[in-house]
Amino acid sequence: MQAVVQVLASEGVDTVFGCPGAAILPLYQALQGSGIEHLVVRHEEGATHMADGWARTNGNVGVAIGTSGPAGTNMITGLYTAQADSIPIICITGQADSRKLHTEAFQAVDIVEIAKPVTKWAVQAKEAAQLPWLFREAFRIARSGRPGPVLIDLPIDIQKQEIEWDASIDAPLPVTVPTPAPARVERALDMLLAAERPLILAGGGVVIGEAEVQLRALAELLGVPVQVTLMGKGSFPEDHELFSGMAGIQTSQRYANAAFLEADLVLALGARFGDRHTGALEVYRGERKFIQVDIEPTQLGKVFGPDLGIVSDTKAFLNALLAVAEDRQVTPGFSPWVRRVNELKELLPRREDFEDTPIKAPRVFKEINEFYGAETYFVTAIGLYQIWSGQFQRAHLPRHYQVCGQAGPLGWEIPAAIGVKKARPDAEVVGVVGDYSFQFLVEELAVAAQYDVPFVLIMLNNEYLGLIRQAERGYDMNFQVDIHYDSHGTDNVKIMEAYGCSGTRVVEPAEIQPSLEWARKEAERTNRPVLVEIMIEREANAAMGVALDSVVEFEPAP
C-alpha cells in the first residue's frame, strides 16, 4: 500500500475523497503522513462526485476510496456519471480476503463485474506485486483516448503483503495522443471552404482536450460561427461576435436552433450527438454535411454516419487544420453568414428582465450573469434549473461551467462543488441547485463544514418537482410528484444551519443581487457553504421542444 500511495502522489494526486472501513484500512495506514490530503465523506457516492469535480477542474485523475461491499455499490452512480461525461477518476475499493470470496464472506461482492458496464476498466488485484503496475495502468487508461473511470478492487490479504518497490526509478506510463491523417485534414478544409453557411460545433472534447485557444484561432481565421454543446459550454466566449449559441431541444437558444437549421455544414469537435442536442435526427441532419472529429474511433458514426470522420485529439486536429489553412493563405470568407447569425440573435431573444413576484427563473440567471465574473466556477446538475441554466447562463472560460450532462444524477452539485474548490482553493465556486436535488446528497455539507470548504449554493425552489410535472402533462396525469408534508415542506435554510452553514430565503426580484453579495461575504467570513434560496413561481415551465424553423430565409449579401 505504501507503493500504491507513492504512485498516487507521482501521478499528481494531492487530494483524495473517501470513507475508511475494515477492508481498506491498510491503504489508509499508508496514506497517513504521506502528504496526500484526505476528506472523509458521508456517503461513497459523494466521494465519487467530489473526485469528479476535482478532475473536471484541473484535468487530472480524481481518486475516491471506499471499503468493501456496499461502499463499492454506492460508487456505481459516480462511475456512471464519470463514464458518461468522459471524466478520468479512479475508484479504489477494499475487498474481503481473497481466500474467502467464494464463501459469501461479510461484505464480499463481485464489484468488478458490477462496475464493468460503467468503467473503462475494472480489475481486482490477484497478487501484491501487481499493485504498482495496476495503478500505473489505471492512470494511463483513465487518461487515454476518451477519458473515463477505472475501478481497482483490493482484497484485504493482498493489501497487507510486502513487495520490492523503488519509487525513485518509477514514472507515469506515457499516454498516446492520436493525431489526424493529413489527407483528412485537407479534405476537412476543402469542405469548410466549399460551404456557404458552415458552423463549428464545440463539444466536451474541446474542453477535455484543452483546445479552446486553437478553436478561437480557427474560427477567427476562417470567420466561421461557433456553437457549443452543453458539455462544451465555456470553450468559446459567449460575448464573441462569432458565438452562435447552443442548439437542442432543452438546453438551447431559439436563435441557435434557427442558425443551425440554416447551416449547410457542421464541423463537430469532440461532440457525441446526444439525443437532447439532436432531437429528431431527420431534422437535425437535414441536407447539411457533417465532419465529425473524435479521439475515440468508435464514436464516429455511433449516432449517424458523418460525411467525413476524423480520429484525433481535438487540439491536434485544430493545430493541423490551422497549419493547412495558413499554408493556403485562407482569409475570412463568411461575412454574410456571420451577419445572418447575429441578425437571428436580435430576432429571437428570450426575455429575462421580469419584475414579477413570484420570481421567474430567467430573472435569476440575469442576476447571476451580472453579478459573477468570468473566473467563477459553476456546477449544476439536472432538472428545470439545468435547462434554464443552459438557456440563459453565460460561460466564457473552459472548465468553469460544469454539468453532469448525460447521466444527470440528482445531488451531484454539493459534492462536485467540494471537489472543484479543493482543486482551485482560491477560486469562487457556485452551485446552482434545485430544491429536490439539494436533498439527495445534502449530508456532504458536513464535509465542507468539517474541512472549511466554502462555496455558494443558489437554489431555485418552486416546491413543485417542476420538470416531472411538465413531463407528466404529455401523459395527461399528475401523480406522485408532491414532496410536501405541511404548508411549507423542507426548510432548506434550517438544514444549512443544522450543518453549521448559513442561508437566506429570497422572495422578491430586487432581493437577489443583495443576497448574492451577502452570500459571497458570508462564505468568506465563515469558510463554509452558504445558501441563497430563491422562491420562484410554481408553474414555471422551461421552453422545450423541436428546433425552430427560420424566421426569414437566408439571402447571401453581395
Q: Is the pLDDT of residue 231 over 90?
A: yes
What does the pLDDT read at residue 56? 97
What does the pLDDT read at residue 93? 98
pLDDT band at residue 550 under the 50/70/90 scheme:
very low
Rounded CA-CA distance 314/296 in Å is: 11
What CATH number belongs to 182-347? 3.40.50.1220
* Rounded average pLDDT over 89-117: 88
Please tell me which residue, 436 or 147, carries the higher pLDDT value: 147
Q: Is the pLDDT of residue 532 over 70?
A: yes
What does the pLDDT read at residue 554? 44
Tell which CATH architecture fits domain 361-535. 3-Layer(aba) Sandwich (3.40)
- Judge contact between 188 and 310, C-beta under 8 A: yes
Helix axes 413-423, 44-58, angle to 10 degrees: 50
What does the pLDDT read at residue 285? 94
What does the pLDDT read at residue 60? 97
Rounded CA-CA distance 420/50 in Å is: 8
What does the pLDDT read at residue 549? 46
* Rounded average pLDDT over 227-235: 95
Provide the 10 A C-beta neighbour count for residue 330. Answer: 16
- Determine what percent of the chain is predicted with pLDDT higher than 70: 92
What does the pLDDT read at residue 162? 96
Q: Is the pLDDT of residue 165 over 80?
A: yes
* Rounded average pLDDT over 346-359: 89
Lowest mean pLDDT across 270-274, 312-316, 350-354, 512-516: 350-354
- Per-chain mean pLDDT for the chain: 92
What does the pLDDT read at residue 247? 93
Q: CATH 3.40.50.970 region(s) of the chain?
A: 2-169, 361-535
pLDDT digits (tens, 9 = 90+) for 266-310: 999 999 999 888 988 999 999 999 999 999 999 999 999 999 999
Angle, alpha carbons 21-93-402 (nearest 5°): 110
Rounded CA-CA distance 236/214 in Å is: 10
Rounded CA-CA distance 544/275 in Å is: 13
What does the pLDDT read at residue 486? 67
- Asked if residue 425 has a cis previous peptide bond (ω within 30° of 0), the answer is no
What does the pLDDT read at residue 489? 73
DSSP per-residue string spanning 439-476: GTSGGGHHHHHHTT---EEEEEE-SS-HHHHHHHGGGT
- In this structure, what C-alpha cell is assigned to residue 477? 396525469
- In this structure, what C-alpha cell is assigned to residue 493? 435554510
Rounded CA-CA distance 171/378 in Å is: 34
Side chain identity, residue 448: A
Q: Is the pLDDT of residue 106 over 60?
A: yes
Helix axes 182-194, 314-327, angle to 10 degrees: 70
Strands 62-66 and 89-95: parallel
* Rounded average pLDDT over 106-116: 89
* Rounded average pLDDT over 519-524: 97
Q: Is the pLDDT of residue 40 over 80?
A: yes
What does the pLDDT read at residue 399? 96
What does the pLDDT read at residue 547? 47
* Rounded average pLDDT over 52-65: 97
Q: Homologous superfamily of 2-169 in CATH?
A: Thiamin diphosphate (ThDP)-binding fold, Pyr/PP domains (3.40.50.970)
Q: Is the pLDDT of residue 322 over 50?
A: yes
Answer left, alpha or beta for residue 384, where phi above 0 means left and psi between -120 and 50 means alpha. alpha
Q: CATH 3.40.50.1220 region(s) of the chain?
A: 182-347
What does the pLDDT read at residue 462? 83
263: which residues sit within 8 A by CB, 6+ positions away? 197, 198, 199, 288
What does the pLDDT read at residue 552? 47
Lowest mean pLDDT across 147-151, 354-358, 463-467: 463-467
Rounded CA-CA distance 340/80 in Å is: 40
What does the pLDDT read at residue 548? 46
> What is the dihedral angle through the alpha carbons of 43, 45, 50, 52, rounded to the nearest 10 degrees?
170
SS (H, E, C) 94-106: EECCHHHHHHCCC
* Rounded average pLDDT over 124-147: 96
